């Protein structure tokens, strides 16, 4: 098998395509969560604690030079925003997995009916046991 045909077989498997779709949707979902945290959740929280923008929280290690560049700072406000984004994404994924598990559990609970030949053989066995 040539390398090109082997690659084509690999790329066309369902798992690879599902993974690609998941990555694209995940990237889009990440942008939505970032906007939700930065534009919806953090402004009211900042307003409650005195109108402070969390993304501007930082600990300056080295101040900026006269030209405004060269500042070295620990951006713990941006880190806080990122932690909240992670918590939202983790909760959303938890809810999706929980829903999928609930659906798959219901599917597992319903046993498949036995094939017709098994039903017929069971009936014959039961009739033989009764002595008919």
Q: What is the CATH number of the domain that holds 7?
A: 1.10.1200.120
Write the pLDDT tens digit of every residue in 6-52. Answer: 877 777 776 777 777 788 888 888 888 778 777 887 788 778 877 76
Residue 96: the pLDDT is: 77
Write the pLDDT tens digit of every residue in 63-119. Answer: 888 887 888 889 988 888 788 878 877 887 788 778 878 877 766 666 778 888 888
Q: How many domains does the chain have?
A: 1
Residue 132: pLDDT band with limits 50, 70, 90:
low
Residue 110: the pLDDT is: 65
Residue 14: the pLDDT is: 65
Write the pLDDT tens digit of every residue in 44-53. Answer: 877 887 776 6
Widest CA span of the chain, in angstroms? 106
SS3 category, 62? strand
Positive or negative: CA dihedral 65, 66, 68, 74: positive
Domain range spanning residue 60?
A: 3-130
Helices 14-35 and 76-109, axial angle in degrees (round to 10): 130
């Amino acid at each position: 098998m040539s390398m090109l045909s082997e690659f084509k077989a690999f790329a066309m498997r369902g798992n690879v395509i599902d993974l690609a779709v998941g990555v694209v949707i995940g990237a889009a979902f990440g942008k939505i969560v970032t906007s939700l945290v930065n534009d919806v959740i953090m402004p009211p929280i900042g307003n409650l604690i005195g109108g402070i923008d969390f993304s501007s929280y930082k600990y300056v290690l080295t101040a900026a030079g006269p030209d405004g560049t060269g500042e070295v700072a620990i951006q713990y406000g941006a880190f806080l925003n990122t932690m909240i984004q992670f918590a939202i994404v983790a909760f959303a994924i938890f809810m999706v997995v929980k829903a999928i598990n609930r659906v798959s559990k219901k599917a597992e609970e319903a046993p498949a009916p036995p094939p017709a030949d098994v039903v017929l053989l069971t009936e014959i066995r039961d009739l033989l046991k009764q002595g008919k």
